[in-house]
């Protein structure tokens, strides 16, 4: 199929990864980057934040032209927040074939940040899409019964997330790591409790940790963000990788729960019902529900290498055999689209 993807293209693991996987699966992909429409000056940032102004108008007008000339089978709007409801309506109204207009949004427009102004156009456009690909089960309830939706979990990237030879992770070794952003929720307290009660070599990387380190156990640590190969090296070099879920997004799982196991690291995660469906507890992943349990589990698996490696191998097998990779996810939503277009 011919697929036009409209999105910001800011991070390679989002739209760029979808483009690569879809092309490798044999589809023609046209990219429509939104980010260049917003300059880095104050005016550009304000338009991007408030979703109003001439840049918004240009994005919408140019997308309509791009679709008219390309005539794609699918228009995929990947967290394309500047798109107006009238634009989506026009794309679905003036079809030149069996084209479908599909929305994918990984953030929670109905969580604690759901009142932000930048969701304004997106929320108005929700009824106009043919299909919503949603990140979490709760999104389906918020969209309502009259909106067509399909749950599409995130994924790992086989070309990036993989075990590395020892010579490639020299200098990246740690006992316990957490590679994720700071939020003012349980993660800061439980991480501080863990670091204060378990003597180990820690790695902590992600946004806003340095600004929130005063009086905490990670004060003075290098908490700079890691991406790409450095992120993979840090995972490979650690015995245990922690997982905390975003309170802002009301998450019960995250992208990291698919990336950590295939890198060959033990996953020690907050316990949720979703996680227990993805990985068997104490066989494919280890879970905690309190700071005390986190400390107990970390101590045990740091000192029991055989038990740790048994779970690591089982988790990696589960991840690869269960379709948690990006190619499987792409096939999943395209099957839904084919069904909607009447293609067997």
The full DSSP string for 81-133 is TT--HHHHHHHHHS-SSS-EEEEEE-S-TTSTTTT-GGGHHHHHHGGG-SEEE
Residues 304 and 267 in one domain: yes
Rounded mean pLDDT, 31-37: 97
Torsion of CA 135, 141, 146, 151, to 10 degrees: 20
DSSP string over 189-232 = HHHHHHHHHS---EEEESTTTGGG-TTSTTTTS------HHHHH
On the 0-12 / 13-18 / 19+ scale of CB atoms within 10 A, 211 is exposed
Structural domain contains residue 333? yes
Same domain, 310 and 185: yes
Number of CB atoms found within 10 A of residue 302's CB: 17
Residues 239 and 112 in one domain: no
What SS3 class is residue 70?
helix
Same domain for 197 and 297, yes or no, is yes
Q: How confident is the model at residue 249 (pLDDT cuts 50, 70, 90)?
A: confident
The mean per-residue pLDDT over the stretch 172-177 comes to 98
* CB-side neighbour CA atoms (13 Å) of 224: 4
103 and 192 together in one domain: no
Q: Is residue 285 part of a domain?
A: yes
Q: 267: part of which helix (H) or strand (E)?
A: strand 266-270
Give per-residue pLDDT as tens, 197-219.
Answer: 999 999 999 999 999 999 999 99
Spatial distance between the Cα atoms of 300 and 306, rounded to a whole number of angstroms: 11
Residue 240 in domain: yes
Domain that holds residue 116: 2-154+325-340
Residue 181 makes CB contacts below 8 A (sequence gap 6+) with 206, 207, 208, 209
Which residue is associated with the tokens 């990219």?
31
Residue 204 and residue 248 in one domain: yes
CA 142 to chain centre: 19
pTM for this entry: 0.94
Angle at CA 306, nearest 5°, toward 192 and 311?
70
Residue 308 — very low, low, confident or very high, per pLDDT cuts 50/70/90? very high
Say how far apart CA 294 and CA 197 lie, in whole Å.
10
Do 173 and 261 fall within a single domain? Answer: yes
Residues 314 and 332 in one domain: no
Average confidence (pLDDT) over 31-46: 96
Q: What is the pLDDT of residue 137?
A: 87
Same domain, 143 and 175: no
Question: CA-to-CA distance for 308 and 286, rounded, in angstroms?
Answer: 10
Report pLDDT for 98.
82
**Residue 101 to residue 238: CA distance in whole angstroms:** 42
Distance CA 61, CA 59 (A): 6
Does residue 58 lie within any of the structural domains? Answer: yes
Q: Is residue 159 part of a domain?
A: no
- Residue 236 pLDDT greater than 60, yes or no: yes
Cα radius of gyration rounded to whole Å, the chain: 21
Higher-confidence position of 108 and 157: 157
pLDDT score, position 83? 98
62 and 138 share a domain? yes
State phi, psi for 101 to the nearest 5 degrees.
-110, 115
Q: How many residues does the chain have?
A: 344
**146 and 15 housed in the same domain:** yes
Q: How many domains does the chain have?
A: 2
- 201: CATH: 3.40.50.2000
Question: At 166, is the pLDDT very low, low, confident or very high (cuts 50, 70, 90)?
Answer: very high
Residue 149 sits in the same domain as residue 204: no
Is residue 160 situated within a structural domain?
no
């Amino acid at each position: 199929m011919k697929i036009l993807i409209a999105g910001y293209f800011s991070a390679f693991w989002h739209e760029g990864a979808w483009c690569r996987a879809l092309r490798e699966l044999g589809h023609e992909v046209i990219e429509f980057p939104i980010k260049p429409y917003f300059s880095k000056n104050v005016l550009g940032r304000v338009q991007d934040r408030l979703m109003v102004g001439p840049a918004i108008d240009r994005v919408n007008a140019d997308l309509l032209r791009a679709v008219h000339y390309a005539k794609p089978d699918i228009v995929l709007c990947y967290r394309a927040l500047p798109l107006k409801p009238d634009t989506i309506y026009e794309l679905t109204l003036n079809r030149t074939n069996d084209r479908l207009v599909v929305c994918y949004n990984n953030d929670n427009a109905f969580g604690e940040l759901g009142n932000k102004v930048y969701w304004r156009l997106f929320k108005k456009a929700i009824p106009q899409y043919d299909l919503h690909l949603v990140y979490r089960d709760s999104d389906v309830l918020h969209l309502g019964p009259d909106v067509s939706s399909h749950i599409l979990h995130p994924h790992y990237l086989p070309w990036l997330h993989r075990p590395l030879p020892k010579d490639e992770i020299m200098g990246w070794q740690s006992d316990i790591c957490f590679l994720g952003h700071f939020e003012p929720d349980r993660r800061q307290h439980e991480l501080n409790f863990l670091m204060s009660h378990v003597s180990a070599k820690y790695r902590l990387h992600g946004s806003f940790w340095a600004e929130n380190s005063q009086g905490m156990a990670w004060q003075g640590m290098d908490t700079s963000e890691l991406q790409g190969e450095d992120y993979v090296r840090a995972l490979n070099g650690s015995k245990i990788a922690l997982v905390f879920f975003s309170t802002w997004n009301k998450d019960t799982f995250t992208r990291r729960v698919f990336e950590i196991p295939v890198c060959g690291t033990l996953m020690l995660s907050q316990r949720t019902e979703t996680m227990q469906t993805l990985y068997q507890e104490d066989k494919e992943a280890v879970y905690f529900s309190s700071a005390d349990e986190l400390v107990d589990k970390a101590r045990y698996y740091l000192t029991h290498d055989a038990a740790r490696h048994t779970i690591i191998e089982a988790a990696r097998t589960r991840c690869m055999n269960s379709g948690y990779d990006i190619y499987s996810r792409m096939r999943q939503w395209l099957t839904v689209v084919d069904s909607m277009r009447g293609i067997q």
